[in-house]
Amino acid sequence: MRYGPSGVQCVRSALDKLPIDYTRFTFLDYGSSNGRVLFLAAGFPFEEVIGIEFSRELRETALRNLTRLTPEITRCGKVSSIHADAAVFEPPKSNLVCSFYNPFGPPVMAAVAERLIAHHDQLGYRIIVIYVDPQNREIFEKSGKFTIYNEAGNTVVLTTAA
């Protein structure tokens, strides 16, 4: 799989258009790499911002980069980057805005989608997915749990029922 930096402008545009109370959501960046999208999300009043990264080296870079976050640009609660396998990562008990820049192949994306669906079905939390370069979007669409909220350029925003 190719590696590429996240489409920060795509994510910013999608976040700006969400009709939500950000303070009632946790932002998760799956495949957060060096933390660029975490910086962006920290500028919104999310309850928490979490990056999930499998590569220890990229996560270490993200941690170094996050030390540059200042109170002037941070509107969210806590910001963190964790080293984890996304396929087994247990999301926090909260409504979620999840960001993906085509970070996984179909097997891992399917496992992540299953966890998000269970988070919605079993715990009742709302899930919003911002998916840039959505090469495996059918995994979400075929689940019957997500509907397309918005689509622009190479970004699709999917959501579960409120």
Beta-strand pair 127-132/95-101: parallel
Could you tell me if 104 and 86 are in contact, meaning their C-beta atoms sit under 8 angstroms apart? yes
Low-confidence ranges of the chain (pLDDT < 70): 1-7, 162
Q: What domains sit in the chain, N to C, each tagged with a CATH number?
A: 8-159 (3.40.50.150)
**What pTM does this model have?**
0.92
Cβ count near 121 (within 10 Å): 11
Q: For residue 7, what pLDDT is reported?
A: 67
Helix (H) or strand (E) holding 65: helix 56-66
Q: What is the pLDDT of residues 20-49, one digit of tens each?
A: 999 999 999 999 998 899 999 999 999 999
46 vs 9: CA distance, rounded Å: 18
Q: For residue 40, what pLDDT is reported?
A: 92
Could you tell me if 31 and 86 are in contact, meaning their C-beta atoms sit under 8 angstroms apart? yes
